[in-house]
Amino acid sequence: MYGYQNNLYTYHQQLSKDRLLGGQTELDLLETIKNTFGMDIKKTTGMFAKYDFYDDFTRIELKTMRNPILKYHKTIIGQNKIDYLLKRSRSKNCYILYKYPEGLYKIKIDKDNSYKLEQNMTGGRKDRGINEIKRGGYCYINIKYLEKI
């Protein structure tokens, strides 16, 4: 039992660090994102927003990655984010941005690009001390489809 509680403590510590890093990265990249996608782009408020940046025509989700881009040949995002962006892509331009140590990368999420998405995949992460599995699964994206900004 102690081992599980210790892992849970480690998980919450790392999750807090990850959220702080993600929030800081959002602030650090706001001007770059505005310069790339339009000066009307705003940052969402609230920890549980469905995306991180928006304007009248655009929705953007930003993922901050600690690992080098070439460490894995695929990157990951929760299927819930993909489902939400694909629904919005009929009327908005939707993107996922990945901030790797080597730079900022993007992929447009829409029906025409859906072949680039390995959806509803089983998997997860273990780097926070416990196995993380999301209801609804994950989506994997081959890094060859990411375009450097």
User: Tens of pLDDT along 101-118?
Assistant: 999 999 999 999 999 999
Q: Could you give the CA distance from residue 60 to residue 71 in angstroms, rounded to a whole number?
A: 24
Taking phi first (over 0 means left), then psi (-120 to 50 degrees means alpha), and beta for anything else, what does residue 38 get? left
- Segment holding 75, helix H or strand E: strand 74-78
Q: For residue 136, what pLDDT is reported?
A: 66
pLDDT tens-digit readout, 133-144: 766 689 999 999
Rounded Cα distance between 83 and 109, Å, is 10
Contacts of 57 (CB under 8 A, 6+ apart): 38, 92, 93
